[in-house]
Amino acid sequence: MNGMPISRYNLDLFRRVVLLFSTAVIIIFFSVNIIMDLITDEIDISKDSYYLKQGFPIFTDKDAYISLVKNYPYDIGAALHIHVIARGETLWDVALMNSITIDTLISANPTLKDLLAVEGDQLVVPDTDGTVLACDDSNDAEIMAELMNIESDNIKGNFTFNPFRLFCRDNMRLVFLKGQKPLIVNNNIEGLYDQKMQFKSPIKGYYTSMYGMRRDPFSGVPTFHDGLDIQNRIGAPIKPIKKGIVSFTGWRDGYGNMVRILHEDGYVSYYAHCSEILVETGEIVTTDTVIALVGSTGKSTGPHLHLSVERHGSSLDPIFFVW
């Protein structure tokens, strides 16, 4: 056999070197973990601040949630900022100003009890559309990705196991699922959210006048406004909020050119101030049908769509059907 045999002394020396090296690596590894834990703020969310719904945390304590967002030490996968509601401002105004949807705002604000904005309230606002997901378990994000039928690569944020945070005592993480609508919302919003999924917005635009009492822009007298005014350009296409049959097209005093559509379950929708009507009475339309174009006909201060909704003859707030 060629070569010199390895002496017992050299073999023992090699083993000692390997043992010392392994020991040093282990010591360094645990030291780094301890140091990282010492220099990184611990996320310790009280279990009284949230409840589990289908295994996912839903915050009930707004202060705890806002504090978590403000002091979150990791990458969330989207830029979040805190917006303070101004007088007269709606959630839809905030969404439009930030080019995001109401769905995104709902996911980013799990403590919302309704969709009414209150002056001085704080809202968490992401910089892009998607779902902010709270996780109290490292598997939560993967489970949600499966429920949404998306690849785990679409989960953004620092939520996976990190060998350098072995002793991390965090009990909550935030991740972002870009472009996704929330599947799980709090019990207060759930009914409204389920209803919303059955309807679509007729156009996009600023909500310039809401449903309810307001000062009439012409007379200055407080009057009841039976619809929602959505500002848009002259000629913008208008689509129905739901499939139905056209029951009226023509001129109505005050409303100008108007289209009325009958829907199932007793719903009726009205589209007023149109510049042009593109459907006829008796025509069946879907949410993809352009029924009219935005205008400023009738009693109007500028180009917009006046949308009204009724059910069994009772007037309803359109805001809960178009968001």
Q: How far apart are CA 46 and CA 103, in angstroms?
A: 27
pLDDT at residue 160, as a whole number: 58
CA distances in angstroms from 144 to 127, 138, 293, listed in the order given: 21, 11, 40
pLDDT at residue 11, as a whole number: 65
pLDDT at residue 166, as a whole number: 45
User: Shortest CA distance to 270 belongs to which of 320, 232, 310, 236?
Assistant: 310
pLDDT at residue 169, as a whole number: 63
Fold classification of 206-322 is: Glucose Permease (Domain IIA) (2.70.70)
Instruction: Supply the pTM of this predicted model.
Output: 0.66
| Cβ neighbours, 10 Å, residue 262 | 13
Amino acid at 138: S
Residue spans of the chain under pLDDT 50 = 1, 37-38, 161-167
